[in-house]
Structure 1
Amino acid sequence: MSAPLIVSIPHRLGREEAMRRLKTGLARATANVPILQVDEERWEGDRLSFSVRALGQTASGHLDVSDDHARLEVTLPWLLQRFAKAAQVAIRNRGNLLLTKRS
Protein backbone atom coordinates (compact mmCIF):
# COMPACT_ATOMS: atom_id res chain seq x y z
CA MET A 1 0.00 0.00 0.00
CA SER A 2 1.27 3.46 -0.84
CA ALA A 3 1.82 6.28 1.62
CA PRO A 4 -1.16 8.64 1.92
CA LEU A 5 -1.12 12.08 0.39
CA ILE A 6 -1.28 14.56 3.28
CA VAL A 7 -1.93 18.29 3.07
CA SER A 8 -2.11 20.52 6.12
CA ILE A 9 -3.45 24.05 5.71
CA PRO A 10 -3.12 26.56 8.55
CA HIS A 11 -5.84 29.14 9.17
CA ARG A 12 -6.93 31.75 11.69
CA LEU A 13 -10.67 31.37 11.30
CA GLY A 14 -11.61 29.07 14.13
CA ARG A 15 -13.13 25.65 13.60
CA GLU A 16 -16.72 26.67 12.81
CA GLU A 17 -15.89 29.27 10.15
CA ALA A 18 -13.27 27.00 8.56
CA MET A 19 -15.82 24.17 8.32
CA ARG A 20 -18.43 26.49 6.82
CA ARG A 21 -16.01 27.67 4.15
CA LEU A 22 -14.75 24.18 3.40
CA LYS A 23 -18.26 22.76 3.01
CA THR A 24 -19.27 25.39 0.46
CA GLY A 25 -15.87 25.40 -1.24
CA LEU A 26 -15.78 21.63 -1.65
CA ALA A 27 -19.19 21.62 -3.31
CA ARG A 28 -18.00 24.26 -5.82
CA ALA A 29 -14.68 22.50 -6.43
CA THR A 30 -16.28 19.19 -7.36
CA ALA A 31 -18.69 20.99 -9.70
CA ASN A 32 -15.73 22.65 -11.46
CA VAL A 33 -13.58 19.52 -11.92
CA PRO A 34 -15.33 17.38 -14.54
CA ILE A 35 -13.08 14.31 -14.12
CA LEU A 36 -13.81 14.13 -10.38
CA GLN A 37 -16.92 12.38 -9.10
CA VAL A 38 -17.79 12.25 -5.40
CA ASP A 39 -19.13 8.82 -4.40
CA GLU A 40 -19.39 9.52 -0.66
CA GLU A 41 -19.20 12.67 1.47
CA ARG A 42 -20.05 12.31 5.16
CA TRP A 43 -19.43 14.84 7.92
CA GLU A 44 -19.17 13.49 11.46
CA GLY A 45 -18.39 16.35 13.81
CA ASP A 46 -15.16 17.97 12.63
CA ARG A 47 -14.25 15.17 10.19
CA LEU A 48 -15.26 14.71 6.57
CA SER A 49 -14.90 11.16 5.29
CA PHE A 50 -15.04 10.84 1.53
CA SER A 51 -14.61 8.63 -1.47
CA VAL A 52 -14.01 10.07 -4.94
CA ARG A 53 -13.46 8.71 -8.42
CA ALA A 54 -11.21 10.06 -11.16
CA LEU A 55 -10.04 8.38 -14.35
CA GLY A 56 -11.89 5.21 -13.32
CA GLN A 57 -9.93 4.98 -10.05
CA THR A 58 -11.31 5.37 -6.52
CA ALA A 59 -9.56 7.29 -3.75
CA SER A 60 -10.73 7.68 -0.18
CA GLY A 61 -9.70 9.72 2.78
CA HIS A 62 -10.68 12.23 5.39
CA LEU A 63 -10.42 15.91 6.21
CA ASP A 64 -10.05 16.97 9.85
CA VAL A 65 -10.78 20.59 10.79
CA SER A 66 -9.32 22.09 13.96
CA ASP A 67 -9.20 25.60 15.40
CA ASP A 68 -6.01 26.55 13.54
CA HIS A 69 -5.57 24.15 10.62
CA ALA A 70 -7.27 21.67 8.31
CA ARG A 71 -5.57 18.35 7.53
CA LEU A 72 -6.44 16.25 4.49
CA GLU A 73 -5.29 12.66 4.21
CA VAL A 74 -6.14 10.64 1.12
CA THR A 75 -4.97 7.27 -0.13
CA LEU A 76 -4.53 7.21 -3.89
CA PRO A 77 -4.59 4.06 -6.02
CA TRP A 78 -1.39 3.33 -7.92
CA LEU A 79 -2.65 4.86 -11.19
CA LEU A 80 -3.36 8.22 -9.52
CA GLN A 81 -0.05 8.20 -7.59
CA ARG A 82 1.66 9.77 -10.59
CA PHE A 83 -0.54 12.85 -10.12
CA ALA A 84 0.05 13.06 -6.34
CA LYS A 85 2.46 16.03 -6.39
CA ALA A 86 0.25 18.06 -8.71
CA ALA A 87 -2.82 17.18 -6.64
CA GLN A 88 -1.03 18.16 -3.42
CA VAL A 89 -0.11 21.57 -4.84
CA ALA A 90 -3.63 22.16 -6.21
CA ILE A 91 -5.26 21.11 -2.92
CA ARG A 92 -2.95 23.33 -0.88
CA ASN A 93 -3.54 26.33 -3.17
CA ARG A 94 -7.32 25.89 -3.21
CA GLY A 95 -7.39 25.30 0.55
CA ASN A 96 -5.31 28.40 1.24
CA LEU A 97 -7.64 30.44 -0.93
CA LEU A 98 -10.72 29.12 0.90
CA LEU A 99 -9.25 29.60 4.37
CA THR A 100 -7.47 32.93 4.00
CA LYS A 101 -9.59 35.16 1.78
CA ARG A 102 -12.17 37.44 3.33
CA SER A 103 -15.71 36.30 2.96
Structure 2
Amino acid sequence: MTKPLVVSIPHSLGREEAMRRLKTGLSRAASGVPVLSVDEERWEDNRMIFRVRALGQAAAGHVDVAEDHVQVEVMLPWLLQRFAEVAQAAIQNRGKLLLTKKS
Protein backbone atom coordinates (compact mmCIF):
# COMPACT_ATOMS: atom_id res chain seq x y z
CA MET A 1 0.00 0.00 0.00
CA THR A 2 1.22 3.49 -0.78
CA LYS A 3 2.09 6.01 1.88
CA PRO A 4 0.34 9.35 2.00
CA LEU A 5 2.17 12.52 1.07
CA VAL A 6 2.41 14.56 4.29
CA VAL A 7 3.37 18.22 4.47
CA SER A 8 3.52 20.23 7.70
CA ILE A 9 3.46 24.02 7.45
CA PRO A 10 4.20 26.08 10.58
CA HIS A 11 2.35 29.34 11.18
CA SER A 12 1.80 31.88 13.94
CA LEU A 13 -1.78 32.88 13.10
CA GLY A 14 -3.75 30.79 15.56
CA ARG A 15 -6.27 28.19 14.49
CA GLU A 16 -9.18 30.51 13.63
CA GLU A 17 -7.22 32.86 11.37
CA ALA A 18 -5.45 29.97 9.63
CA MET A 19 -8.82 28.30 8.97
CA ARG A 20 -10.28 31.56 7.65
CA ARG A 21 -7.43 31.90 5.16
CA LEU A 22 -7.58 28.26 4.12
CA LYS A 23 -11.31 28.36 3.51
CA THR A 24 -10.73 30.79 0.66
CA GLY A 25 -7.32 29.46 -0.30
CA LEU A 26 -7.79 26.00 -1.84
CA SER A 27 -9.91 27.08 -4.79
CA ARG A 28 -7.69 30.11 -5.39
CA ALA A 29 -4.55 27.97 -5.22
CA ALA A 30 -6.04 25.41 -7.59
CA SER A 31 -7.00 28.12 -10.08
CA GLY A 32 -3.30 29.02 -10.33
CA VAL A 33 -2.40 25.48 -11.44
CA PRO A 34 -3.93 24.75 -14.86
CA VAL A 35 -3.84 20.93 -14.51
CA LEU A 36 -5.51 20.94 -11.06
CA SER A 37 -9.22 21.11 -10.27
CA VAL A 38 -11.05 20.82 -6.96
CA ASP A 39 -13.78 18.15 -6.97
CA GLU A 40 -14.71 18.38 -3.28
CA GLU A 41 -13.92 20.60 -0.31
CA ARG A 42 -15.75 20.28 3.00
CA TRP A 43 -14.98 21.26 6.56
CA GLU A 44 -15.52 19.21 9.71
CA ASP A 45 -14.42 21.30 12.69
CA ASN A 46 -10.74 22.09 12.11
CA ARG A 47 -10.29 19.53 9.30
CA MET A 48 -10.82 20.19 5.61
CA ILE A 49 -11.49 17.07 3.56
CA PHE A 50 -10.78 17.44 -0.12
CA ARG A 51 -10.62 15.65 -3.44
CA VAL A 52 -8.71 17.11 -6.36
CA ARG A 53 -8.03 16.00 -9.91
CA ALA A 54 -4.81 16.44 -11.86
CA LEU A 55 -3.82 14.92 -15.19
CA GLY A 56 -7.05 12.93 -15.18
CA GLN A 57 -6.20 11.33 -11.82
CA ALA A 58 -8.09 11.90 -8.54
CA ALA A 59 -6.30 12.43 -5.24
CA ALA A 60 -7.99 12.71 -1.84
CA GLY A 61 -6.78 13.96 1.49
CA HIS A 62 -7.32 16.26 4.39
CA VAL A 63 -5.87 19.34 6.04
CA ASP A 64 -5.72 19.53 9.83
CA VAL A 65 -5.44 23.06 11.24
CA ALA A 66 -3.74 23.50 14.62
CA GLU A 67 -2.81 26.64 16.56
CA ASP A 68 0.75 26.67 15.23
CA HIS A 69 0.82 24.49 12.12
CA VAL A 70 -1.21 23.02 9.30
CA GLN A 71 -0.75 19.41 8.26
CA VAL A 72 -1.72 18.31 4.76
CA GLU A 73 -2.08 14.60 4.06
CA VAL A 74 -2.96 13.38 0.59
CA MET A 75 -3.09 9.95 -1.03
CA LEU A 76 -1.75 10.14 -4.56
CA PRO A 77 -2.71 7.57 -7.19
CA TRP A 78 0.23 5.68 -8.65
CA LEU A 79 0.53 7.94 -11.72
CA LEU A 80 0.77 11.10 -9.61
CA GLN A 81 3.26 9.53 -7.18
CA ARG A 82 5.93 10.23 -9.80
CA PHE A 83 5.29 13.92 -9.08
CA ALA A 84 5.23 13.60 -5.27
CA GLU A 85 8.33 15.74 -4.67
CA VAL A 86 7.03 18.48 -6.96
CA ALA A 87 3.60 18.31 -5.29
CA GLN A 88 5.18 18.44 -1.83
CA ALA A 89 7.21 21.54 -2.72
CA ALA A 90 4.18 23.22 -4.31
CA ILE A 91 1.98 22.53 -1.26
CA GLN A 92 4.72 23.81 1.07
CA ASN A 93 5.29 26.99 -0.95
CA ARG A 94 1.62 27.87 -1.50
CA GLY A 95 0.79 27.05 2.11
CA LYS A 96 3.56 29.29 3.45
CA LEU A 97 2.45 32.10 1.18
CA LEU A 98 -1.16 31.76 2.30
CA LEU A 99 -0.32 31.45 6.01
CA THR A 100 2.41 34.09 6.28
CA LYS A 101 1.38 36.98 4.06
CA LYS A 102 -0.29 39.95 5.62
CA SER A 103 -4.07 39.87 5.58
- TM bucket normalised to smaller: over 0.9
TM-score, scaled to structure 1:
0.95
* Runs of at least 5 residues in structure 2 that lack an aligned partner in the other structure: none
Q: CA RMSD in A?
A: 0.9
Residue 51 (structure 1) aligns with: 51
CA distance in 2, matches of 1:85, 1:8: 14
Paired residues in the alignment total: 103
**Percent of pairs with identical residues:** 71
Q: Residue in 2 aligned with 1:60? A: 60
Amino acid in structure 2 at the alignment position of 1:19: M
Report the Cα distance in structure 2 between the residues aligned to 1:34 and 1:90, rounded to whole angstroms.
13
TM score, norm. by length of structure 2: 0.95
Flag structure 1 segments of 5+ consecutive residues without an equivalent: none
Structure 2 counterpart SS, 1:85: helix
Deviation readout 1:29-75 (Å, 9 max, x if unpaired): 12222211211111111000111111111110000001010000000
Which aligned segments of 4 or more residues in structure 1 are displaced greater than 4 angstroms? none
Residue in 2 that maps onto 1:35:
35
